[in-house]
Chains A and B, each alone.
Chain A
Amino acid sequence: MSQEIFFLPDVGEGLIEAEIVTWKVNVGDVVVLNQPLVDVETAKAVVELPSPFAGTVLTLHGQVGDTMEVNQPLVTFDLGGERAPHANEKQVVHDVPDEQRREPVLIGYGVASEEGVPTRRSRRTVANAAQPAPDLTALSEPAGGPVRTTPPVRLLAKQYGIDLATVPATGPDGRVTRGDVEGAHRWADQMPLRGFAPMELHRASRFVGREIDSWSSGAREERIPVKGVLKAMAEAMVQSSTRQPQAAVWTRVDATKTMELLSGLKNHSDFPNIRLSPLTLVALAVCDAARHFPGINSSFDDENNEVIVRRYVNLGIAADTPRGLVVPNIKDADRLDLKSMALELSHLVETARNGTTTPDDMRGTTLTITNVGPFGVDGAMAILPPGTGAIVCVGRIAKAPWVFDDEIVVRHVAELSMTFDHRQIDGALASQVIAHIGTFLEDPAAALLAQ
């Protein structure tokens, strides 16, 4: 049978990697030319990759969430013993299409790979024998035979006096990258055993909406351009902290009844498949507090020297997304009942996670909630989104000793804090508001009935 490999292309002018968002086919599926295979997210966009072949899917070389380097195998197809439809001789013979053999030139690194260009002989080898799926584990140990890498990297290793065979390879097809050699060099400097590094230090991690190199493989110092979501976050925080004098109040509440109400509703027939969480009730509580104390739902208009009091709540929710922090809002959230609020919140979170939040979704926030509970912390000192009067921060809800009817009992306890713009909101108002939210969460059923 004849096999073809679809290599991850550079879909956006000089990109080096993409993350798998959704597979649209499974192993064994028969696909037609241009059928959508996968959604990948690059530094620029989420894009759908259509199939360059008609055939059966043999291998998906990565899982959802994996970051793949450009030119790495993405999908292997079985073309069923026939030649690739609509491909000429040249296409069948070589394993890497022309475009993928193009060498990306990274500033300061030169052409990435000479060996990435298959020689005439290696092409024929590939065409004759079905190519085994390359080892794609991030840390494939060097097998026997010459180490695969590029001439500049060989030179670098030589300069450092490092034996390439001892360097764990993280590049495509087990290739040793410049970063691998740099990492080995650093470890060689510091550790008695050359080339040795604990596994966990090889793991990449997420930072400012992107994947950054691990401690051991990354450069000693790395500079990340400030743009996109990172830039938006930085600008908002500078604007807020330099132009809005901020103070905070906090309180601890017994959220036991909130938890009881939620678990009761989860089994209720009116709420099948609706995601209910403490955040739903916190959102209702914040809106209720705004209705009782409209002053909290205000902002300071520097230009006109006026304070704007708003009698509607566009409720911002700080969301941690693969792209970084975004704060979409629910328009007119004060008009929503429990069920609608739950639906709106799950829609908002879904949209943010999918990266399809629009600028409109983020415009006009009047009050914000940031929920740090899922991160397992008790609370945080939030900074105001620019142009808003208050942000409520809710920590994790955990069992803790609590004085109840003069006895120490175990209750679900949560910490609430609120940061406010002290130009127009004073401590008295802020205290009343946080207390109101606390009272709401201590007996949500009563509060909802009173609405």
Chain B
Amino acid sequence: MIDEELVQLLTPEGERVTHPDYASSLTGEQILSMYRDMVIVRRLCNESTSLQRQGQLALWAPIQGQEGAQIGAGRALAPMDFTFPTYREHGIAWCRGVPPENLLRLFRAVSNGGWDPQKYRHHVPTIVLGNQVLNAVGYAMGIQRDGADEAVLTFFGDGASSQGDVLEGFVWASSFNAPVVFFCQNNQFGISTPSSTQSKVPLYRRARGFGFPGVRVDGNDLLACYEVTKAALENARAGGGPTMIEAYTYRMGAHTTSDDPTRYRVDAEVEVWKHRDPIERIKALLVREYHTKPVAFDAINEEAEAFALKLRDDVLAMGRPDPLSMFDNVYAEPHPLIDEGRRDMAEIRASAGAN
């Protein structure tokens, strides 16, 4: 399953291993800080799942198991780099500084986005599979034309790797040598379709056919994800063109809160991946190598609990948008059909006695 070309710097047991092309540059403090990121993001995810089950969010896409891939990639970014996420990049949003409650606005259906993409250098989630890859490549070509020292990091899953948008993005990025890094989290399932059904070769090998390098990294290894992403972004900024990173990981939870994974996969497989948990292996490293004390982990857990309670309060305090505001951002400029729709809805609401 995991092949020898997988970049790994830390075993599932938290022991360091060497790799000819990559070495970990992170200090103990940085690793502890990224451990904190992962714990908080997982707590955010658990609270969001609960909120959905309590009717407070319309939908939620769980991230459990993919924290290592996302925090590793997210912390490898330079401040001015730009990121294009799917609907599951909660860890990236966290690293970019998007206020967590704003992340939940979309899932509570009170906003079409939730934040200013330029402010956080993080685009709003793209729900349409793979479309963000085209956006990212276009943005990267813009950077090229501006001559800016920036790179673009875009995300998609093994499922979206079959989308035409993603493959077209590959072609354009390659043809123009655009400063973009394609970060594919292979979490093994496109909803219920196994990754092996979608691609007869390991996904990272597809990059070679498009004319740029592909790297497969252990997606549950924070250290490896950080180094591989950092190197790819540096290469892009230096004019080296695109790279595809396949973070080989596993979605421990459901595709979304509307999905029941027990219908298409076996418990035994989930059990195997539990032993590869990205958070546990960093904890093992911190204890073994940096002698991090239990009190430090306790403090992080307490912080995560308080964070979750505040997040809940913030979500429950969100007001309901004016229903008519749904027409506001369909087009940048006035549009007669949209105006007509807005007028009709206002009339219907008035006749129904709605305030």
Chains A and B form a bound pair: yes
* A residues neighboring B (CB under 8 Å): 6-13, 34, 44-52, 86-88, 90-91, 97-100, 102, 114, 151, 356, 358-360
Contact A358 B55 (CB under 8 A): no
22 pairs of residues in contact across A and B, judged by CB atoms under 8 Å: A6-B54, A9-B54, A11-B52, A11-B257, A13-B58, A44-B260, A45-B254, A47-B260, A49-B54, A50-B53, A52-B55, A86-B309, A86-B312, A87-B316, A90-B317, A91-B316, A114-B352, A114-B354, A358-B262, A358-B263, A358-B264, A359-B263
Contact partner, A98, options B258, B260, B320, Cβ 8 Å = B320
Contact A48 B260 (CB under 8 A): no
Cα–Cα, bound, A402→B128 (Å): 69
Contact B260 A99 (CB under 8 A): no
Kindly state whether residue B56 has any CB partner on chain A within 8 Å: yes
Contact A114 B353 (CB under 8 A): yes
Chain A's closest residue to B259 (CB) is A45
Contact A48 B56 (CB under 8 A): no
Residues of the B chain whose Cβ atoms lie less than 8 Å from the Cβ of A102: 109
Q: Which B residues between 313 and 338 are near A, CB-CB below 8 angstroms?
A: 313, 316-318, 320
Kindly state whether residue B235 has any CB partner on chain A within 8 Å: no
Chain B: interface secondary structure? loop
Whole-angstrom distance from the CB of A432 to the nearest CB of chain B? 38
Answer whether A11 and B53 are a contact pair too, CB < 8 Å, given A44-B258, A98-B320, A114-B352.
Answer: yes
**Chain B interface category by residue count:** 20 to 34
Residues of the B chain whose Cβ atoms lie less than 8 Å from the Cβ of A10: 55, 58
Residues of the B chain whose Cβ atoms lie less than 8 Å from the Cβ of A9: 52-56
Chain A: interface secondary structure? loop
Kindly state whether residue B272 has any CB partner on chain A within 8 Å: no
Cα–Cα, bound, A44→B47 (Å): 21
Residues of the B chain whose Cβ atoms lie less than 8 Å from the Cβ of A87: 313, 316
Kindly state whether residue B343 has any CB partner on chain A within 8 Å: no
Chain B's closest residue to A361 (CB) is B266
Contact A358 B266 (CB under 8 A): yes
Chain B's closest residue to A111 (CB) is B352
Residues of the A chain whose Cβ atoms lie less than 8 Å from the Cβ of B266: 358, 360
Residues of the A chain whose Cβ atoms lie less than 8 Å from the Cβ of B263: 45, 358-359
Chain A's closest residue to B59 (CB) is A13
Contact with A along B244-285 (1 / 0, CB 8 A): 000000000010011110111111000000000000000000
Contact B258 A13 (CB under 8 A): yes
Given A46-B260, A88-B317, 9 further pairs, Cβ under 8 A: A11-B52, A12-B258, A13-B258, A50-B54, A98-B318, A99-B56, A99-B108, A358-B266, A358-B267
Residues of the A chain whose Cβ atoms lie less than 8 Å from the Cβ of B54: 6, 9, 49-52, 97
Cα–Cα, bound, A102→B110 (Å): 11
Chain A's closest residue to B52 (CB) is A11
Whole-angstrom distance from the CB of B93 to the nearest CB of chain A? 22
Kindly state whether residue B50 has any CB partner on chain A within 8 Å: yes
Contact B309 A356 (CB under 8 A): no
Cα–Cα, bound, A53→B112 (Å): 29
Answer whether A151 and B352 are a contact pair too, CB < 8 Å, given A13-B59, A90-B316.
Answer: yes
Contact partner, A88, options B55, B59, B265, B316, Cβ 8 Å = B316
Answer whether A97 and B56 are a contact pair too, CB < 8 Å, given A44-B259, A46-B260.
Answer: yes
Answer whether A100 and B55 are a contact pair too, CB < 8 Å, given A86-B309, A358-B266, A360-B266.
Answer: yes
Q: Which B residues between 41 and 66 are near A, CB-CB below 8 angstroms?
A: 47, 50, 52-59
Contact A99 B317 (CB under 8 A): no
Answer whether A50 and B50 are a contact pair too, CB < 8 Å, given A88-B317, A114-B352.
Answer: yes
Residues of the B chain whose Cβ atoms lie less than 8 Å from the Cβ of A151: 352
Whole-angstrom distance from the CB of B205 to the nearest CB of chain A? 28
Contact partner, A97, options B52, B55, B59, Cβ 8 Å = B55
Cα–Cα, bound, A86→B47 (Å): 13
Residue of B57, B257, B267 with highest tally of chain A CB at under 10 A: B257
Residue of A47, A88, A98, A358 with highest tally of chain B CB at under 10 A: A98
Cα–Cα, bound, A99→B257 (Å): 16
Residues of the B chain whose Cβ atoms lie less than 8 Å from the Cβ of A7: 55
Whole-angstrom distance from the CB of A416 to the nearest CB of chain B? 34
Residues of the A chain whose Cβ atoms lie less than 8 Å from the Cβ of B264: 358-359
